Amino acid sequence: MSMSESFTKAHNEYSRIATKSTSLLLNELWTKKSIPDEVWTEHSIELFLQWIASHDSNNRIDMAPLGAGEREGRVASSMVRRLHCGLTHGIGRSGNLCEVQPKALGSSMLNCLANEFALHALKTLGLHSVKGAVVVPLCTGMSMMMCMAHWRKARPRARYVIWSRVDQKSAFKAILAAGYDPIIVDPLREGDSLLTDVPEIRRMMEKHEDEVLCVITTTSAFAPRAPDDLVAVGALCSAHAIPHLVNNAYGLQSTECTRRILECRSSGGRLDAFVQSLDKNFQVPVGGALVAFFKQSHANAFAQYYPGRASCVPARDFVLTLLGQGTRGLQMEYDRQRRLFERMRRKLRTFAEEIGETVYEVEENLISLAMTLCTIPASKQTLFGAVLFSRGITGARVVPSTSKKTTVEGHEFINFGSHTPDQHSGYLTIACGVGMREDELEELFARLVSTHCDGCSRRVVGECPFVDTLDFFVRTLVATCESVGEASISKVIKMKKHLLIHIR
């Protein structure tokens, strides 16, 4: 009996059902164009990618493709071809990022899914009134530059962009790359927080009027910078008919940032577009951004400004990641970030109290924390940061105070890195970004504590790079007295003698 004859009617029926279920899964995704609730298996995702790639002309199997143009999806390296799963044509056409490319139908389908997934993700995270979203194969700063260049025709007399200062170079360089001069508005200090100087922004609007292309505000930044007052700025932009661009780089993971975006819109304020990073918010490789709008027509007009064909890699990675998470997995990641941030804040406050420092009170910032470094001489603070980095703590930043000027593309900043020219005692910033795990948080503080303790121990024997010997002795003695009480004063005396021996 041949093998084909050994297959029974039941076997053939099972084969038909298996084939049909795969087709149903893929067709349902394309029909609904929304993130599935449940996680897809890796096998299902691979089937999806192969199915998508089969729609591009260079991957046809019914005939040998014959390219008679200048590009035609040719790839010299077989390794590179496998890396890109045969999706080599790119997305869009030369004048529109979202236009379907006939010979790259699969890549165009992937791009369409990315934009629909982006809109679904924003709504899942609470931004229900958003109407349009475009996944752009550019970084956050370049995407902001594209927004500004897109508005050039509507404001032909514009020369300036009003920028509420935040000391990250991307947005600032985006202004210059778009061909405009920045009007820098330093934030105001209120308590520990650095807040939007709304009166100064109003004054600059009234002074320059039609010469202002737009106002750029920021939601997510390192503490002690708080999110900008989008409601107040949005109201000013509405009153003066000036576009409002929001740098929401990693703000999707902050309920405070999303609340301010929604409130700006619901209060009647103007907010033309807000830009966020794909890698910071969705844990994909660097290279893409999500530009969101409250009108689909604005998203369409923005997409039509993109010059040239675009890479589909950011869209591909974004879609595959969300298929592997599902809406429930995405929400769980964001819920965990919020939970771990509160734990990080409690642990940093405890650590700061133990070493004689304080944590800045910036209640509006739900991602980044800042701790003073008053007990470390200013000349040694950057060394503390370098030691942390050498011990594998990345992303933490030591920000010393300085009166020196830093020049960025011909523009001078005093105390760059601090968001303000005001002097301070120096501080350490750490952040709890989406994707951080419980064990990482625990290990972070274990290394932070050990680094500080090692520095103090080395100083006692005359090698400490961080703190002054006498200052360390006094703080240690006081802390010991407070912890042991008068009944154990003999222990304090013994400690004093022990420290004095090393000091001498």
**Pairing mode, if any, of strands 132-136 and 289-293?**
antiparallel
User: What are φ and ψ of residue 279, in 5° steps?
Assistant: -70, -40
> Cα-Cα-Cα-Cα dihedral of 190, 191, 193, 194, to 10°?
30
Q: Which residues contact 261 (CB under 8 A, 6 or more apart)?
A: 127, 219, 230, 246, 248, 251, 271, 274
The pLDDT tens digits along the chain (504 residues) read 566 667 777 767 767 777 777 788 888 898 999 999 999 999 999 999 999 998 888 887 777 777 777 778 888 899 999 999 888 888 888 778 888 888 888 899 999 999 999 999 999 999 999 999 999 999 999 999 999 999 999 999 999 999 999 999 999 999 999 999 999 999 999 999 999 999 999 999 999 999 999 999 999 999 999 999 999 999 999 999 999 999 999 999 999 999 999 999 999 999 999 999 999 999 999 999 999 999 999 999 999 999 888 999 999 999 999 999 999 999 999 999 999 999 999 999 999 999 999 999 999 999 999 999 998 888 889 999 999 999 999 999 999 988 888 999 899 899 998 999 998 999 999 999 999 999 999 999 999 999 988 776 555 444 445 544 444 444 444 444 444 444 444 444 444 444 433 333
Contact 237, 230 (CB under 8 A): no
Pairing of strands 212-218, 193-195: unpaired
Q: How far apart are CA 361 and CA 215, in angstroms?
A: 27
What angle (nearest 5°) sits at the alpha carbon of residue 428, between those of residues 423 and 433?
A: 125
Q: Cβ of 207: how many Cβ atoms within 10 Å?
A: 11
Burial class (CB in 10 A: 0-12, 13-18, 19+), 328: middle
Q: Which of the 8 DSSP states describes residue 59?
A: G
